[in-house]
Amino acid sequence: MTMKQVAMDDQMPYLPKEIIQNILARLPARFLIRFLCVCKQWKNLIKSPSFSSDHLLHSSHQNPCLLFLMRGGDDALNWHLLDSEMQVHRVQNHPLIDYLKCGWVVGSSNGLLCVRIRKDGMSHDSLLLCNPTIREVRQLPRATDAFPHQNLHVGFGFSPIVNDYKIVRIYVDIPFDDMIDKVLVYSLRTESWKEIELGILVGVSLSSHGFTANGSIFWFGSKLKQEDENGNLVGGNVIISFDIATEVFTLMPRPALTLGSHLKTLTMYEKKLAVLCCTAIGNSKSLIDLWVMEEGTAASGQRCSWTKKYSICPYPGVLRPLTIWRNEVVCSISTRREMENDETNTILYNLTTKEFKKFAVSRCSCGYHVFNHVESLLPVGGMKLSAMFV
């Protein structure tokens, strides 16, 4: 050892805040919650708005998750998170949500969930915004209740263009095939509800849950067939799209499916709107097709067109495609199959390797819902709920 090396400073170098931020932004939110307790500097850093945004960006790319919503034996909510390392984590909900037991998720954006609560005997439903990662809940102000002859569809999403989260309530008349009667939109920024004119939605019926992607919310629907000015019959099956930024509804054509093929769900593939369809082959096999919407070219004169991107080879079982996550098609498996006694309740199909993978996310013999979700530190903002829900 030379004199120089003995004199060398062996101490840990002091890391500047920017570098600590760079390191922490790479971690899943779950670990960052734990690190709030390290010291004040780290707590202030992790809770700062600039860090939350930076972290969300990393999280969306490196760790997109799946949220599985299941019900336990006593009707309790069993929410599980599947992360990109294929680890399943039980979601520790805000005590209020666990207490309510009757919440179901409308949608997930930037790590925030919009939860709809309707307790038996209550005359109205309520909406909550929650971030299960930081265990914050916020109740949204009441909107008009649906009439007894109406159903209510709720959509939730974020638009970076207006930097706002919005919630859409679509009231449909049951006796008229779920035809749209009224639309209310809530903006988190203005904290108020307002009614939107139906316009193009006149004569349109809704037939699915909402799906949010790319700053818009989408539903399956159908427009009442009518004669246009040339005497042609127009209308039929459509996809309804709500632009969160402009609050404008548009109608888009659905893919032209072959006979026997049924639309199952809207999803996203490579940042484009996509649709998963299913063709049952007898009682024991299913064929799944993936259609992707491409932007129309000026030459074709169409705004958009559908292309069948994949036909997934038949699986020995009846699968229900739910969503696309990373490069996999996530399907639930019909509970009526008796072939296997294991707890497999989920099948993943990899679109690159074309392989099926069996998976079990917690014990669940009934159907469940799945949402693409990202764990974030974003606060739900506004007044937080501390009192019991009334």
Residue 23 sits in the site that holds another protein (CB under 8 A):
yes
Residue 234 sits in the site that holds another protein (CB under 8 A):
no
Residue 4 sits in the site that holds another protein (CB under 8 A):
yes
Q: How many C-beta atoms surround the C-beta of residue 39 within 10 A?
A: 10
Check residue 141 and report its DSSP letter: P
- Selected from 60, 87, 92, 258, the binder of another protein by CB under 8 A is 92
Report yes or no: 329 and 346 within 8 Å, Cβ to Cβ.
no
Taking the least distance from each CB to another protein, the nearer of 7 and 259 is: 7
Q: Which stretch binds another protein (CB under 8 A): 15-23, 236-244, 264-272, 301-309?
A: 15-23
Distances (CA, A) of 207 to 254, 265, 309, 338: 13, 11, 24, 31
Residue 57 sits in the site that holds another protein (CB under 8 A):
no
Length of the chain measured in residues: 390
Show the site string, 111-150: x = touches another protein by CB under 8 A, - = not. Answer: -----------------------xx---------------
Residue 38 sits in the site that holds another protein (CB under 8 A):
yes
Which of 322, 334, 238, 335 lies closest to 286, judged by CA? 334
Taking the least distance from each CB to another protein, the nearer of 24 and 213 is: 24
Residue 86 sits in the site that holds another protein (CB under 8 A):
no
At CA 47, angle to CA 188 and CA 160, rounded to 5? Answer: 35
At CA 292, angle to CA 287 and CA 294, rounded to 5? Answer: 155
Total residues binding another protein (CB under 8 A): 31
Taking the least distance from each CB to another protein, the nearer of 92 and 350 is: 92
Residue 41 sits in the site that holds another protein (CB under 8 A):
yes
Q: Judging by beta carbons within 10 Å of its beta carbon (0-12, 13-18, 19+), is residue 2 exposed, middle or buried?
A: exposed
DSSP string, 309-322: EEEEEEESS-EEEE
Residue 12 sits in the site that holds another protein (CB under 8 A):
yes
- Which residues lie near another protein (CB under 8 A)? 4-5, 8, 10-15, 19-20, 22-24, 26-27, 31, 33-43, 92, 134-135
